Amino acid sequence: MYAIIATGGKQYKVSVGDTVKVELLNAEVGSTVTLDVLAIMTDGEVKAGDQLNGANVSAEVTAHGKGRKINIFTYKAKKNVRKRQGHRQPYTELKILGINA
């Protein structure tokens, strides 16, 4: 059994017990959050759309953090213009507790 969830503008395929890194959520570590479900696969049968009345996925927030550093370097040839910039994307780590169909 697995579910397709949507959070942070992205979609993830999750099962019970999985650990997923998603966009930063406004939740405390140790708290439980519920996520929107787009589709559920159970016993070879896919449910989506209107068949998902009240379906959700419960997950526990295990950690917050930052991803690996991405270096951005831009320049203009023959002009001695150079710019270096770095970025670390914040994330929330979730452990999937249950899929409520």
SS3 string, the chain, reads CEEEEEECCEEEEECCCCEEEEECCCCCCCCEEEEEEEEEEECCEEEEHHHHCCCEEEEEEEEEEECCCEEEEEEECCCCEEEEEEECCEEEEEEEEEEEC
**The model's pTM:** 0.84
First to last CA, the chain: 10
Give the mean pLDDT of 74-100. Answer: 97
Task: Write down the pLDDT at residue 80.
Answer: 96
Task: Write down the pLDDT at residue 50.
Answer: 87
How far is 86 from 101, CA to CA, in rounded Å? 42
Q: Report pLDDT digits (tens) over 6-45.
A: 999 999 999 999 999 999 999 999 999 999 899 999 888 9
- Tokens 């996520």 appear where? 35
- % of the chain beyond a pLDDT of 70: 100
The total number of residues written for the chain in this structure: 101
